[in-house]
Structure 1
């Protein structure tokens, strides 16, 4: 469903219900699609950086290249 801006202003509640029920509601400006009216959805859990600090261990040789992998890419195998 597409409505113009003026109609959307006067029928916002009705349009909001339609969007909540799953209908695609597009608000047009000068006859061209301008806005999509979509229902609000709660965001997931807020991430907290560092919450796993001290629980993950990275080995000392983590950044060392694996000779087997380099050889495979270079065609030495």
Structure 2
């Protein structure tokens, strides 16, 4: 159980569901337990990220042919003051 999470038993969760939801809307996270064993977690809803579309930037980005070329002189320049 993460720090700051309160644990409630199933009976309490059923009788106080609206209050627990209001607390979760306020940012709290609540663990629901059965016989002292955690079985569920109430957490604030966060929408899923949008679907990725591979290739969406095709033709918009140009990478130089030598973008990964590396010379020891380059590394030495990083440490010169």
Specify if TM > 0.5: yes
Contact kept in structure 1, 2:29 and 2:44, CA below 8 Å: no
Counterpart check, 1:58 vs 2:69:
no
Q: Which residue in 1 is equivalent to 2:28?
A: 23
The answer to whether residue 19 in structure 2 is matched with residue 46 in structure 1 is no
Deviation at 1:34, TM superposition (A): 3.7
Gaps of 5+ in 1: 73-77
CA RMSD of aligned residues (A): 2.5
Considering only CA atoms, is the larger Rg found in Structure 1 or Structure 2?
Answer: 1
User: 5+ unaligned residues in a row in structure 2: which ranges?
Assistant: 1-5, 77-81
Quote how far apart the aligned CAs of 1:41 are. Answer: 1.6
Q: TM-score, normalised by structure 1?
A: 0.61
